[in-house]
Amino acid sequence: MFENSKPFRPLIFLFVFITVLLLIFINFLLKKETDPYLILGANFFFLVLSLFSMRLQMNAMKNPNPNVFVRSLMSSMLIKMVVCIAAEIIYAYANGGQYNNKGIFISLVLYLFYLAVEVYSMMKLNRKKNA
């Protein structure tokens, strides 16, 4: 049942690690006028987005045609970018004057962390013969 969950473990570990760090440094972030709840939400958002993206890519790896994997990779990257931009625009309009630049910047750095872990996991899967 859980043998298929092994490629997702680094993403889940990253999510837990970042969540624990945010909970430890919540007072520091509040003193620096950074919204920790925005970062926690972005952390969860990127976890879900990365899990969805990895699932698409793993399904495409099973296809013998290599073009399917390339299309899947490109489409998942496009979907992630569009969804992230849409989420940022929705956040900007929903909060009006309470826009938190520092929180958005930290969230963008989180996006890079999730991207790096996702690429690492996919490269590790791709090394196997029947991946």
Q: Mind listing the pLDDT tens digit of every residue in the chain (131 residues)?
A: 345 778 889 999 999 999 999 999 999 999 998 989 999 999 999 999 999 999 888 888 888 888 888 888 889 888 998 999 999 899 889 888 788 889 999 999 999 999 999 888 888 887 755 54
Is residue 19 within 8 Å of 87, Cβ to Cβ?
Answer: no
Give the model's pLDDT for residue 24: 95
Question: Measured between alpha carbons, how far is 91 from 71 in angstroms, rounded to an integer?
Answer: 30
Type of residue numbered 104: I
Give the model's pLDDT for residue 48: 94
Residue 69 token pair: 């994997």
| DSSP three-state, residue 32 | coil
Helix 66-95 and helix 101-126, axial crossing angle in degrees, nearest 10: 170
Is residue 125 within 8 Å of 131, Cβ to Cβ?
Answer: yes
Helix 66-95 and helix 36-61, axial crossing angle in degrees, nearest 10: 160
Question: Measured between alpha carbons, how far is 68 from 90 in angstroms, rounded to an integer?
Answer: 32
Phi and psi at residue 124, to the nearest 5°? -65, -40
Report if pTM > 0.95.
Answer: no
Burial (0-12, 13-18, 19+ Cβ within 10 Å), 4:
exposed
Residue 5 has what DSSP assignment? G
